Structure 1
Amino acid sequence: TAGFAASCPAAGWISQYYSQAHNGIDIAADYGTPIHAVGDGEVIVSGYVSDYGQWIRILHGDGTISEYGHMQRRDVAVGDRVTAGQQIALVGSEGQSDGPHLHLRIWADAGAGVRTDPIPYLAERGVDMPCTPGQGPGPGPAPVVHPVESGRVVSARSADGRLEVFAAAADGVHHAWQTVVNGGWSPWEALGGPGNAELALAPNADGRLELLALNGDTFQHRYQTGPSAGWSGWEPFGGGGKDIA
């Protein structure tokens, strides 16, 4: 059971998720974006280290600890009492960092050194990621309405911010993607699939992109196997074009 009602830590998009190799989540945002305490608590660390840059730890009443790293500026000191949603820092890129973002880490049992995925931790406390600051404790923001792009050429951003583009041709669908955020592009990759198809591309609620291709009776789709991950092969979708209103 959640120990408190949480608040949104920062506006932005999740550029890296929690895994065994990555002990928190990264929320990419512009330099200077406000960072907020996820819950009431006491600041137990506020300082600077070479690999983490400016960083903060907050001990919450349920014994969990939220940790914030790579900040441009800290607005609280050790011993300060903070409230959920209070601004505590600004997004930066200090320490070992490839760009401006908040690294958010959660210690579920700090005494035993147990870390946990911040996304379900926040969801249990009323905040769904990505989120909007200012919601305050309690229910998270309304669901995001994801735009759908359709046509012979479609594009969308992966969860990590890279653009991906698909183009329909007589020999099937072709795919290219940015190799880094705001960076260069891969060569075109031939995917096969329906020729001269109408395409639709949109993100799922969990951040995975999904591509649909329709040509007459042929209706197929592909999808990312995880946010910003590789793609599945083509699979039939529904009963074909004649079944689509």
Structure 2
Amino acid sequence: MRVLLVEDEPDLREVVAAGLKAAGYAVDGAHDWPEADFLLDLNDYDCVVLDRMLPSGDTLPALEHRRRSGWTTPVLCLTALHTVSDRVAGFRSGADDYLPKPFAMEELVMRVGSLARRAGARLPVHLRHAGLELDAARREVRRDGILLTLTHKEYAVLRHLLVHRETVVTRAALVEHCWDEMADPVSNVVDAVMAGLRRKLGPPPLIRTVRGHGFLLTGDPGDADDTSDTSNAGDAGGQVPR
């Protein structure tokens, strides 16, 4: 899951980003609303953590403007403005949750997780494919009933593959949904995670590399895993080539 953190205080932004990343989230950072507004137009986020008072002023009018345009991404206001009237103003402007500073990192992570899950409620909680079972509520993955221990990135990549199991998933799509803006789509980060995931899933192989296109879940043990060329796997995508 991908989170946008909008906070102008560098040290606090670094601490919050580290806490969210430790919980498995990909985190993009913005120090002011114009930068955040640009990133929101550029990327899809599961949640936004938004400081109210930024160098450009109170962010509530900008939040309200986005809500009126139909924007639905969950927003958690993280702010030193903590009175009842402050919180009411936040909710009236379109905030989904409101956490005053100072705060406990554990509570922030739990609140972000709750908002992100709510936003992703349209996705199935339980995903199954060829003996593979993913329980999003428990963040558990089993193959043939055996519980697997996956890293946060391995879990995120596998869930994205399961959600889109009818199509080839490109490298660029995986980077966009499972990494933050610092990830390089042409680097080997996807290959490294994919190698670990394949190893933990065990035989017969479930993830096939479609040369020049991306990755596809397969349930056919006889379907060869063609890993001879993954350098341009993000160049194309969509339906399985015929």
Relative to the length of structure 1, the TM-score reads 0.28
Tell which structure's C-alpha radius of gyration is larger.
1
More strand by share: 1
More helix by share: 2
Relative to the length of structure 2, the TM-score reads 0.28
